[in-house]
Amino acid sequence: GASTAPTTETSASPAPEQTDKQITLGFSQVGAESGWRTANTQSIQDSAKEAGIELKFSDAQQKQENQIKAIRTFIQQKVDVIAFSPVVESGWDTVLKEAKDAGIPVILTDRAVDSSDTSLYETFIGSDFVEEGRRAGTWLVEQYKDASEDINIVELQGTTGSAPANDRMAGFAEVIASNPKLKIIASQTGDFTRAKGKEVMQAFLKAHEDIDVLYAHNDDMALGAIQAIEAAGLKPGVDIKIISVDGVKDGFIAASEGKINFIVECNPLLGPQLMQAVKDVVEGKEIPKRIVTEEGVFTSEDAKRELPNRKY
Ligand code: GZL
């Protein structure tokens, strides 16, 4: 449908004791598609307030053209720094060159771009999605090391063209290749949402009656798939093993109930690192081109124990 203008809101100004020039940050967010995204947005907004940085925040509703519009608006507003989480990897060079020509530094968070010109951004703060895929594959290889017959896997991919979808798919495939009995019999995008994850899992269940494993690129799609699996009279985590990525509250709850067997954490709390990078860039400090976020893995047992400590 027609793309609606991205929403932009400005947070309250910081404490009055700020003496040096107040920094204005323009942030273009992917959307509000998942629990991970909600936690990520909260972290960015809270951290901007704590850092005394004025935040101009735009929600692109998962449309690249809205992100490009928002970045152009930030350039016109002459913000000090632009940061964004690119919904897909490609198609950013033109608008990033416009920011560079306007002398406005750009910081990538969460997802990467495939621009060959790395002078177009100061740093990329986010997870190693290939490693996340490898961690998912490693658990599965261990689970089925003694399998005597084929293990049929279906895969719910994230948003088509996004770095997490591309890389989680690649890392997983790389590791499970060590056991030819591990077969991906279907792989399709669920766009990181519960609704689409449920819909695609319903289609998988209709097309294949012998599914052993679901690998979902995020908890929200896994939670949608669980609804479809239960509606089909099957037990998630038992009849169909489920591996998921993110580790949001609802994912941990499902894992503690044994409905998800293994969660690969993807840390959304990037706000503090982003604000530190913004300050360093404004002060002209050298910052690393790549800042990788810390994150772990959790079995159902781990999730049961850790659930009370989860912050989002
Ligand atoms: C990963 C992030 C992904 C999450 C999804 O860093 O880009 O997008 O895994 C979210 O939940 O929608």
Give the pLDDT confidence of 232-255 residue by residue, as tens digits: 999 999 999 999 999 999 999 999
User: What distances in angstroms separate CA 205 from CA 35, 143, 191, 213, 305, one per listed residue?
Assistant: 25, 22, 18, 12, 32
pLDDT digit string, tens, across residues 202-218? 999 999 999 999 999 99
* Contact of 210 with 180, CB cutoff 8 Å: no
Ligand 1 centroid–CA 284 distance in Å is: 30
Ligand 1 centroid–CA 164 distance in Å is: 7
| Alpha-carbon span 131 to 296, nearest angstrom | 11
Ligand 1 mutation target, pool 28, 29, 34, 291, most atoms within 8 A of CB: 34
**Which atom of ligand 1 is least distant from the CA of 85?**
7
Q: Answer whether 109 contacts ligand 1 (Cβ < 6 A).
A: no
Ligand 1 centroid–CA 150 distance in Å is: 30
DSSP string, 257-283: TTSS-EEEE-----HHHHHHHHHHHHT
| Alpha-carbon span 12 to 205, nearest angstrom | 49
Ligand 1 centroid–CA 37 distance in Å is: 6
Percent of the chain with pLDDT over 70: 94
Nearest CA to ligand 1 atom 11: 36
Query: Residue 3: its pLDDT value, please?
Result: 44
Three-state secondary-structure class, residue 203: helix
* Contact of 299 with 281, CB cutoff 8 Å: no
Ligand 1 centroid–CA 241 distance in Å is: 21
pLDDT digit string, tens, across residues 89-113? 999 999 999 999 999 999 999 999 9
Residue 33, both tokens: 């598609």
* Contact of 85 with 29, CB cutoff 8 Å: yes
Q: Answer whether 84 contacts ligand 1 (Cβ < 6 A).
A: no
Give residue 21's pLDDT band: very low, low, confident or very high (50, 70, 90). confident
Query: Residue 58: its pLDDT value, please?
Result: 98
pTM for the full predicted model: 0.93
pLDDT over 80 at 5, yes or no: no
pLDDT digit string, tens, across residues 252-289? 999 999 999 999 999 999 999 999 999 999 999 999 99
pLDDT digit string, tens, across residues 155-181? 999 999 999 999 999 999 999 999 999
Q: Give every CB contact of residue 193 below 8 A, 6+ residues apart in sequence.
A: 33, 34, 220, 221, 224
pLDDT over 60 at 4, yes or no: no
pLDDT over 60 at 14, yes or no: no
Check: complex ipTM more than 0.95: yes
Name which of 16-20, 53-57, 160-164, 263-267 the model is least confident about: 16-20
Q: Answer whether 71 contacts ligand 1 (Cβ < 6 A).
A: no
Residue 215, both tokens: 């690998």
Bridge partners (DSSP) of residue 196 are: none
Please name the residue that has the structure tokens 């509000």: 32
| Alpha-carbon span 44 to 42, nearest angstrom | 6
- Where does the chain have alpha helices with state H? 35-51, 64-76, 93-101, 129-143, 163-176, 194-207, 219-231, 249-256, 271-282, 300-306
